[in-house]
């Protein structure tokens, strides 16, 4: 008997293999991921009383969307000139605010975040100070205003190349007490932590767009920005329109993670595998379903022409 290959079975097995692998990429984690996890089902069983549970300060960084919420206007900070200022000062009813949480002694992430956004803003038609304001709040309560002043000068100089002079009044680098910093972070849904072993802060890279009246309207995630998208986001922020988060896919998939052992943010190849596995599964299913339907229809048509015998 000659073996006839069943292409339907082969393709089905291929699809199952792709889906299974994708599932493994989505739910599987490397040993490093496992070591950085907080409380899991396994640890709950082995440590029912939470004796070995990490303190809250060592758990979970990220962003919880608070769009539609208003900033408490009377939270007090120091500006780069060491003057007391209330955060509500920057919500003047005319210009939107782009807020970020950074700190001047950040080893790399904050610089990349602010430099990339500064370069992108140079390519937009809107101007800092004239059309909107930039506010960066240090999450390090020990940061001195003199350090914040140097940070402001750095980014004003970078932004002022070409035709972007006289924007210094639109840049604000703030410092403050720990409780006030935490209060504003909580209002914005910004979760960060201090890593004592590395003596630095772990935090997500995100800009928060706030309307001229102080309403949170949009989050811009990640480290790469598109000038056209930023322009549209600023327009909607000026109008107080709540928009969807920008670049959230990269960080929702975990493309970047903070490695506490190295004190660096690293790109995860696992995220690319997840995307590739999902694409493969969708492609196969999109090919197989029409094939199966076609085969079923063909068999039905053939049966109409089969010869019959009468006995």
> What's the pLDDT score for residue 206?
94
> In the block, which residue shows the tokens 């899991």?
40
Q: Does domain 56-244 have CATH number 3.40.50.40?
A: no
The Cα–Cα gap between 58 and 37 comes to 10
The answer for residues whose C-beta is within 8 angstroms of residue 250's C-beta and 6 or more apart is 221, 222, 256, 271
The Cα–Cα gap between 222 and 253 comes to 12
> What's the pLDDT score for residue 128?
94
The Cα–Cα gap between 155 and 168 comes to 9
The Cα–Cα gap between 105 and 160 comes to 23
Instruction: Output DSSP code: residue 98.
Output: E
pLDDT tens for 34-68 read 434 444 454 455 555 555 554 444 357 899 999 99
The Cα–Cα gap between 114 and 126 comes to 17
Mean pLDDT of the chain: 76
Cβ-contact 225, 120 below 8 angstroms: yes
pLDDT tens for 166-218 read 899 999 999 999 999 999 999 999 999 998 888 889 999 999 999 999 999 99
Record the tokens describing residue 226, joined without a space. Answer: 């598109």
Q: Quick one: pLDDT band at residue 19, thresholds 50, 70, 90?
A: low
pLDDT tens for 281-291 read 787 777 776 76
User: What are the boundaries of each domain within the chain?
Assistant: 56-244
The Cα–Cα gap between 307 and 37 comes to 67
pLDDT tens for 225-283 read 999 889 988 988 988 876 556 554 444 444 444 443 443 445 555 555 656 676 777 87
Residue 133 DSSP SS3: strand
How many Å is the maximal CA-CA distance in the chain?
Answer: 106
Contacts of 141-146 spanning 24+ positions with Cβ under 8 A:
141/175, 141/176, 141/177, 141/178, 141/181, 143/103, 143/104, 143/105, 143/175, 144/175, 145/78, 145/79, 145/80, 145/81, 145/82, 145/175
> In the block, which residue shows the tokens 């327009």?
235
Q: Specify the pTM.
A: 0.63
């Amino acid at each position: 008997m000659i073996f006839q290959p069943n292409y339907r079975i082969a393709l089905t097995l291929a699809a199952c293999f792709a889906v299974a692998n994708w599932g493994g990429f989505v739910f599987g984690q490397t040993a490093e991921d496992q070591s950085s996890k907080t409380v899991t089902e396994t640890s709950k069983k082995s440590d029912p009383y939470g004796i070995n549970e990490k303190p809250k300060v060592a758990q979970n960084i990220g962003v919880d969307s608070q769009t539609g919420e208003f900033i408490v206007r009377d939270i007090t900070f120091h500006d780069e000139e060491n003057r007391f200022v209330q955060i509500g000062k920057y919500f003047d009813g005319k210009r939107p605010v782009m807020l970020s949480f950074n700190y001047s002694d950040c080893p790399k992430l904050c610089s990349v975040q602010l430099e990339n956004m500064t370069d992108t803003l140079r390519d937009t038609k809107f101007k800092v100070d004239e059309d909107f304001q930039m506010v960066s709040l240090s999450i390090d309560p020990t940061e001195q205003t003199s350090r914040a002043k140097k940070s402001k000068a750095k980014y004003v100089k970078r932004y002022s190349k070409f035709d972007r002079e006289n924007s210094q009044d639109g840049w604000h680098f703030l410092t403050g007490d720990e409780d006030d910093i935490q209060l504003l972070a909580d209002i914005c849904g910004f979760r960060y932590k201090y890593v004592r072993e590395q003596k630095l802060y772990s935090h997500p890279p995100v800009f928060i767009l706030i309307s001229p009246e102080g309403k949170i309207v949009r989050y811009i995630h990640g480290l790469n920005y598109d000038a056209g998208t930023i322009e549209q986001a600023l327009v909607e922020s000026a109008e107080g329109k709540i928009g969807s988060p920008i670049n959230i896919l990269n960080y929702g998939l975990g493309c970047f993670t903070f490695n506490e052992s190295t004190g660096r943010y690293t790109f995860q190849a696992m995220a690319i595998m997840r995307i590739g596995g999902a694409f493969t599964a969708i492609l196969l299913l999109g090919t197989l379903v029409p094939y199966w339907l076609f085969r079923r229809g063909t068999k039905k048509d053939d049966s109409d022409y089969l010869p019959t015998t009468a006995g």
